[in-house]
């Protein structure tokens, strides 16, 4: 009988589910915020406090729940990029946690948002090559997302100094691509667990 790394399989499945929950949290934030006229962006005191704290919780979940998937991808890809993958993943995890802390605390010093997005770009571009050798389509999506994040970082850092048209042109693609990427990674990791489990059942039956 061939032994399986059931702990690793379960970890990948859990990371996949967490990524799907992260995508769901961001989508819920976008929909609720649109329906309430931006109430989720309101102050956390007074009549809008409930909506504002809901918005905070959804945004924090949409970032922190991606961390397990980032770590699983790093573990899987490390052999294909021993130096680039760990460094890129570190940049990605830092960017996710810094963003979550900023949302939670309301601490937004100048340049923080652009810095967070730039770190995310380093992460996605850094793992895109190794990931493309394993999953060409996901690797390409990751690279495109990284390029979009670079554009977003540039226009975010240049806010107030760049023409208005540069924001939708260079910064508008990152968020929808990030939602697609997070959902795709979640599905890939969760399905890997399910496929491995069904393969084990088939071998046992044989």
- Cα–Cα distance list, 68 to 150, 169, 180, 183 (Å): 23, 31, 17, 14
In a domain, 3, yes or no: no
- Who wins on pLDDT, 3 or 141? 141
**Residue range 198-203: mean pLDDT, rounded:** 39
Question: Is 162 within the bounds of a domain?
Answer: yes
What is residue 142's predicted lDDT score, i.e. its pLDDT?
Answer: 97
Residue 186: give the domain boundaries: 8-205
pTM, two decimal places? 0.84
Q: Which of 20-29, 39-48, 170-179 has the highest mean pLDDT?
A: 20-29
Cα 140 from Cα 138, distance rounded (Å): 5
Residue 1 maps to a domain: no
- Residue 206 reports pLDDT greater than 90: no
Extract the tokens encoding 194.
């399910």
Structural domains counted in the chain: 1
| Measured distance CA(170)–CA(150) in Å, rounded | 9
pLDDT of residue 155: 82
57 within a domain of the structure (yes/no): yes
Q: How far is Cα 88 from Cα 94, in angstroms, rounded to an integer? A: 10
| Residue 127 falls inside a structural domain | yes
Q: pLDDT band for 105, please (50, 70, 90 cuts).
A: very high
Q: Which residue has the higher pLDDT, 161 or 8?
A: 161
Q: Does 2 reside within a domain?
A: no
**70 and 89 Cβ atoms separated by less than 8 Å:** yes
Q: Helices (DSSP H) in the chain: which residue ranges? A: 6-35, 49-64, 67-77, 84-105, 112-134, 136-157, 166-171, 174-205
């Amino acid at each position: 009988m061939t032994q399986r790394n059931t702990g690793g399989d379960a970890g990948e499945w859990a990371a996949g589910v967490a990524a799907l929950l992260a995508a769901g949290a961001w989508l819920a934030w976008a929909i609720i915020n649109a329906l309430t006229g931006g109430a989720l962006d309101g102050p956390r005191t007074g009549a809008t406090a409930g909506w504002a704290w809901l918005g905070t919780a959804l945004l924090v979940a949409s970032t922190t729940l991606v961390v397990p998937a980032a770590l699983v991808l790093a573990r899987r890809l490390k052999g294909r990029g021993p130096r680039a993958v760990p460094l890129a993943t570190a940049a990605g995890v830092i960017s996710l946690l810094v963003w979550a802390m900023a949302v939670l605390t309301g601490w937004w010093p100048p340049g923080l948002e652009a810095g967070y997005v730039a770190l995310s770009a380093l992460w996605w571009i850094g793992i895109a090559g190794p990931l493309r050798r394993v999953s060409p389509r996901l690797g390409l999506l990751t690279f495109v997302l990284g390029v979009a994040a670079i554009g977003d970082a540039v226009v975010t850092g240049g806010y107030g100094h760049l023409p208005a048209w540069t924001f939708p042109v260079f910064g508008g693609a990152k968020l929808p691509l990030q939602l697609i990427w997070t959902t795709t990674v979640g599905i890939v990791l969760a399905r890997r667990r399910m496929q491995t489990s069904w393969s084990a059942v088939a071998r046992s039956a044989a």
